[in-house]
Structure 1
Amino acid sequence: MARRAIRLDSIEHLPGQTRVAWRRTRLAIPLAALAGIAWPPIIATLLIWPPENWMPGRDIDWRIVLLVLGCVAVPAGLMVIRRERDRRGRPGTRLGIVWRFMLYGGLLAAALQTLVALLMVVIGLVSSSDLLQGIGATETTLLIYGVGGLPIAVLVGVSYALWAGLCAAFIAFVPAPEKVRDRLGLMGETG
């Protein structure tokens, strides 16, 4: 039995590696942003278990907060992708677009969770009655919001960003036309 050698002359044979360009329709980017914001786990859980408190305040549901963050982060991610593509031409593939969203989503989730942990530490220190109680509140807060909450926040952020990146890559982008090689030298500038 003869084995057939697999040759990868071009990386474009792998899934997600075809070159892409922005879709020309005006509704593609807003539609990609809306689809990216509507992460199915959030929408499904909001429909199945409606939150008790919809208004901002002390006991607002975390799903509402996540949805509001998505309303800001997904369009901002599309703007960052547009700016990066205008400057450097990258990311040029659907896989690259999804990876950028996942990277930025994970970093944003980690930064926001760290900020929440630091704010909770400050609140615990201010509300404590003496130094030892403040140190205990700081330790507990860092264990709960830092050590326990940070991995969960990053996991949720990357998952949300994966969905938003897939929506952006498949709704706002289309396969780019093939580049034409100038074999005869006729396409160059004439002096």
Structure 2
Amino acid sequence: MVSPPTSPFRAALMAVALASSAAVLPLVAMASPQPEPEAEARNRQIVTEAFDRWQAGGTTFFTDLLSPDVVWTIEGSGPSAGRFEGREPFIERAVRPFVSRLSTPIRPTNKTVWADGDHVIVNWDGVGTAKDGQAYANSYAWILRMQDGQAVEVTAFLDLAPYDDVLRRIPAPSPQ
């Protein structure tokens, strides 16, 4: 059983994620053959296990789960929103600039994972600490389209205000 949202932001995030998936998934279902139920269960397991490793301290989440040709879209407005084509450009332009400003990495604290065909939806909370000692906490909803055990498309929803605040507040490390 899914527990009710605990904040207005979380409620809005869930509504956006569910509405987005409700709008996208029927179109995908019409455009491509339905995968076998085993593939759906396997996709859910792959994503769940990747999150479990990350939560336990793993550091290879993105390289383990993302196809080298992934298209990652961060929805919203502001400097961090946008589309990234390829795993390395996404890591270089979105992941590294953020994590370089943290003294402790983001770790998922809880997650709910749903699978529907080739799509896996993960609603998760993450926490970490910025280099200035301030806590970072955010709620995320990611919609992943899986192919051959890797995510080939990801649409990410999150509150960009605290994310962008870390990028603005903490100077980028000097190149060495």
- Between structures 1 and 2, the one with greater helix share: 1
Bigger relative contact order, structure 1 or 2 (CA pairs below 8 A, ≥6 apart): 1
Q: Which has the larger radius of gyration?
A: 1
- Between structures 1 and 2, the one with greater strand share: 2
Q: TM-score, length-normalised on structure 1?
A: 0.26
Q: TM-score, length-normalised on structure 2?
A: 0.28
